[in-house]
Amino acid sequence: MDYYPDLDLFARTELLQGTPPDALRVLQAWAGRRRLAAGDILFQQGDRTTSLFLVIAGRLRASQMAQGGQQIIIRYIGPGEVAGCAAFVENDTHPGTVTAVDDSHLIGWTSASLRQIMERYPVIAINAVALLCRRYHEMQIRLREVSTERVERRIGHTLLRLAHQSGGRTARGIEIAFPLSRRDLAEMVGTTLYTVSRIVSVWEERGIVSSGRRRVVLCKPHALAAIADEEE
């Protein structure tokens, strides 16, 4: 069954904010729909870029495979965010693989349609530049962390970012609202599963975090922030 978001939801996405309602109706009519089950692949690293997608519901994981076979998780893509930014660049390929973490509903446009859309509605072209700048800034921060910070700080910063992006308050603390294993965390931070398990186990003993069944709860986010911001 196709998923048709209302225009208010459509207008809150990072690409379409500020777009007039009449334009949103046109864009909704032009869009194609995709539904992914958890584990389904939207596109593979190196695939030719043919479309760009907005996540309406669910969550995706963008990852890259290094030459040595190590998988690196680049980011998680949640509701309102864009998957397939390479479509903004003509004749490009996808730099990574995007996989559904949860059951997900997407709306997308072909690369050719996207160029027509941005020419017809300049606000969308401006939004596209802004979101690419945000992704670039995010990658600069990640690179600095990997290059200069101890692994404890990197894990702390990563968990705090994920909690900010998709955390929900529970009786135990702030729960990251999608499946996240210790291996996933290691692939985001750029370290080994053993190292992440050792550090997270210590934090669990201190009551800072709680993890299990691929769920992570920040029980004492202020204590985690203190670790993340601790001077080298």
Closest CA to 86 of 122, 47, 116, 139: 47
* Contacts of 191 by beta carbon, 8 Å cutoff, 6+ apart: 151, 154, 155
Q: Dihedral of the CA atoms 97, 101, 106, 112 (nearest 10)?
A: -10
* Contacts of 143 by beta carbon, 8 Å cutoff, 6+ apart: none
Q: Distance between alpha carbon 134 and the CA centroid of its chain, in Å?
A: 12
- CA quadruple 96, 97, 101, 107: dihedral positive or negative? positive
Give the fold, CATH level 3, of 7-146.
Jelly Rolls (2.60.120)
Predicted confidence at residue 1, as pLDDT, reads 40
Predicted confidence at residue 83, as pLDDT, reads 95
**CA dist., res. 4 & res. 21, Å (int):** 15
61: which 2 tokens? 């994981």
Task: Give the tens place of pLDDT for each residue, 132-175.
Answer: 999 999 999 988 888 888 999 999 999 999 999 888 898 889 99
**CA dist., res. 113 & res. 133, Å (int):** 22
Residue type for 149, please? E
Average pLDDT per 10 consecutive residues for the chain, totaling 232 residues = 65 90 88 94 93 94 85 92 88 89 93 90 94 92 88 94 90 89 92 94 95 87 90 57
Residue 220: CB atoms within 10 Å = 15
Q: pTM, whole model, 2 decimals?
A: 0.85
SS3 content of the chain, % helix, strand, coil (to 5): 45, 25, 30
Give the fold, CATH level 3, of 150-228.
Arc Repressor Mutant, subunit A (1.10.10)
CATH 2.60.120.10 occupies which residues in the chain? 7-146
CATH 1.10.10.10 occupies which residues in the chain? 150-228
